Structure 1
Amino acid sequence: MDIPDDYSYSENYTYSEDYNDTPHELPVFTHKSTCLNEVFCVCLLVVFAIIFLLGFCGNALVIWISGFKMKKTVNTTWYLSLAISDFVFCAFLPFSMTNMAMEEWIFGRFMCKSVSFIMFLNMFSSIFLLVVISMDRCVSVMFPVWAQNHRTVTKASIIVVFCWILAIALSCPSVVFREVGTVLGRTICFNNYTHDRYSHKAVAVSRFLAGFIVPFVIIIICYSIIILRLRTSRMTKSTKPFKVMTALVAAFFICWLPYHVFVLLELNHQHYDQSILITGLKVGTSLAAANSFLNPVLYVFMGNDFKQKFKSTVLSKMENAMGDERPTTSRYLSRSSSMGGRASTHI
């Protein structure tokens, strides 16, 4: 995902066949940022700052626990890869926040292309991994015996690598079309679609289909099958699986739909009010970015084994820091850690 205003034709300048000229320098203009004087822009900066702090720290914690403190399993492979994707995304947020505050790109052409590429790499890799997690849970519920015998860390790792390769391929348009230019006295990082008449529409539609519609349909089908299956099993007495699944699907839908809707509307920007499109794109990118810190909560912290490992690890660290070695507590933590290795993360 490109943060912020990847498609905004007035602030981040998407140029297509509708424009006669590409950005050029007009020395008569002197650019002065007005973002910090606007309430909406300041609020967006605060939101992105919160997303950065929560997402960076939350995903770093997930990487630390799932990568170094837990036994390597299929589930931890999914969680670790998802956390790495979101962590990298959050690490690059300060570049976009600086661009938003200054209303100018100061990091050069290479970083213009790199930041955009990383943002979309995160979008596709995260969504593909969420689809894989959904399909994995569906298979485990429908064919538990087969899953127990064939779900291996090696196969999971191969699937993760395939997801990343596909995400890289779909993120390449950012490297091709992203450019740096000067408009009205300021340097901008923009999408230059002037060389191909249909490139803008092709990129937007392909991202919508591959990054939202197809994954969302697959996730809905998987969780519908799981719910129908659970209704006929012993888990019917518990409402937690249904609540968790509803939260997962709702978070995916709410975070990504506004972003893609306004991206598609921007294709025919001449038919819509410019201020509405700009505001919608900013809000849409904010919601989509929020998914990067919601993922650790929804997909990891709800897993029983991860929660137990997190509690036991943090408690033991606190105990060591305080220098209070209590045998009873130590035995309890040891027992909790042992149980965490055996508990299932499936809902």
Structure 2
Amino acid sequence: MKQTLIGSETPEPTPNSTRMNAFNTTCFVVSVLAVLTCVCGLVGNSLVICMIRMKRSPFCVYVLNLAVADLLFLLCMASVISLDIIFLARNTKVCEVVRRVKYFAYTVDLSLLTAISTQRCLSVLFPIWYKVHRPQRLSTVVCTLLWTLSLLMSIVASYFCTHFRGYDKQQCFTVDVIVNIFIFGTLTPMILSSMVLFIKVQRSSRQWCRQSPRLLLVILASVLMFLVCSLPLGVYSSILYWVDLPQQLKILYVSISCLSSSLGCSANPIIYFLVGRWRRQRLQEPLGAVLSRALQEEPIIVGKETPSTGTNEVGPESQDPTVPVHTNPVMGLA
């Protein structure tokens, strides 16, 4: 005990209290970093939405929906962390609803990345078949179905697993198992299609056009960031939540997974910018042009077979000197 100036005694800090203070400080710092990351991600995804909201190419439809899902996730994540830090409101109704919306956006994010990677994998493996048989509004239909299905799953999970409605742990566990089966079932084709894309790019690197495969790089980088940064949050909600572990370990894992998932959802705009600026020598360029270059659907060349792009390439010996030959506008942007 230590004697103070007014004669009262104060207890000396114990090793347990010191460790607890260090633990609380670590969690607080990680939470603040997560909120700052969410703010940066909100700005980046808002810029992406503003720049491509009028574009109607199939891939831009996916990117627009992905940016909206990321924006919703980051907004909910920042709100939940702020409520925990400022008001210490962990089990209020508002916090519970925001958490459910956050996991809804998380499910949409995962589903959209799976649809993007799978669709691009088909376009690389079977370019002619994909170009001929692909429905015109496939991207819009797929995005609508994914949002609807994810919303229904979130409503069912919220009905059985909310703490302010007669919480039944057994019912919640059953619903959680069903949701996790869907999530990991969605995760499998995303991983497989991404591996196929990566192998195809490596093997066909000498057969591509002079233009770099930017779109494939965007897809592969986005999937990789999700697996590395955002997947730990899903692992906690599906597995570690039901495992009997020390409470401090769970809290620390949740704090780190919140930071990593915030990084994952904030990284896509940065990926678009870096890929769009790849191999470009101009330092000052409008963000819209950089984004369009990163997201443009490039002609896919596999071996010597290329799908028709609407322009006929004519050899120099057979060109009509009176008729100018127009180059492919897509290739002209390289």
What are the equivalent positions in structure 2 for 1:48-87 lying under 5 Å apart? Answer: 48-68=34-54, 71-87=55-71
Q: Secondary structure at the match of 2:243?
A: helix
Matches within 5 A, 1:247-266: 247-263=221-237, 264-266=239-241
- Equivalence for 1:268: 243
User: 1:229 is matched with which residue?
Assistant: 200
Mark the CA change 1:116 to 1:245 in structure 2 (over 3 Å): closer, same or farther.
closer
Q: Could you tell me which residue of structure 1 aligns to residue 258 of structure 2?
A: 285
Q: Structure 2 CA distance, aligned partners of 1:295 and 1:265?
A: 27
Query: With CA pairs under 8 Å and 6+ residues apart, which has the higher RCO, 1 or 2?
Result: 1
Q: Is the 8 A contact 2:113 2:223 kept in 1?
A: no
- CA contact 1:304–1:340 (8 Å) conserved in 2: yes
Distance 2:136 2:266 in 1: 25
User: Is 1:43–2:29 an aligned residue pair?
Assistant: yes
Whichever residue aligns with residue 84 of structure 1, its letter is V
* Cα distance change on mapping 1:143 and 1:42 into 2, 3 Å: same
Pair 1:171 & 2:154 matched: yes
Distance 1:117 1:75, change over 3 A: same
Counterpart of 2:317 in structure 1 is none
Q: Give matches, 1:10-159, under 5 Å.
A: 38-68=24-54, 71-102=55-86, 104-105=88-89, 109=93, 111-151=94-134, 154-159=137-142
**For residues 118 and 163 of structure 1, do their structure 2 counterparts lie closer, same or farther at Cα, with a shift above 3 Å needed?**
same
Identity across the alignment (%): 19
CA–CA separation in structure 2 for the residues paired with 1:281 and 1:193? 25
Q: TM-score, normalised by structure 2?
A: 0.67
Following the alignment from structure 1 to structure 2, what is the Cα–Cα distance between the partners of residues 46 and 106?
16
Q: Distance in 1 between matches of 2:70 and 2:154?
A: 15
Q: Give structure 2 stretches of 5+ with no counterpart.
A: 1-19, 301-334
Conserved 8 A contact 1:92-1:115: yes
Aligned-residue CA RMSD (Å): 3.8
Structure 2 equivalent of residue 217 of structure 1: 188
Secondary structure at the aligned position of 1:92 is classed as: helix
Per-residue deviation at 1:344? 2.8
Give the length in aligned residue pairs: 272
**Is the 8 Å Cα contact of residues 138 and 223 (structure 1) preserved in structure 2?**
yes
Contact in 2 for aligned 1:56/1:87 (Cα 8 Å): yes
- 1:200 matched to which residue of 2? 172
Q: Distance in 2 between matches of 1:206 and 1:346?
A: 40
C-alpha displacement at 1:52, in angstroms?
Answer: 1.7
User: Quick one: distance in 1 between partners of 2:277 and 2:57?
Assistant: 11
Secondary structure class of the residue paired with 2:27: helix
Relative distance call for 1:40 and 1:94 in structure 2 (3 A) is same
Runs of 5+ consecutive residues of structure 1 not aligned to the other structure: 1-33, 181-191, 316-335
Structure 1 residue 303 displacement after superposition: 5.4
1:124 and 1:167 in contact (8 A); partners too: yes
- Secondary structure in structure 1 of the residue aligned to 2:56: coil
Asked whether the equivalents of residues 256 and 287 of structure 1 are also in contact (C-alpha less than 8 Å), the reply is yes
Task: Quote the offset at 1:157 in angstroms.
Answer: 0.2
Which whole-Å CA distance do the structure 2 matches of 1:247 and 1:37 have between them?
33
| 1:344 aligned partner | 297
What is residue 330 of structure 2 aligned with on the other side?
Answer: none
Q: Residue 278 of structure 1 aligns to which amino acid in structure 2?
A: I
| Deviation at residue 340 of structure 1 after TM alignment | 4.8
Aligned to 2:267: 294
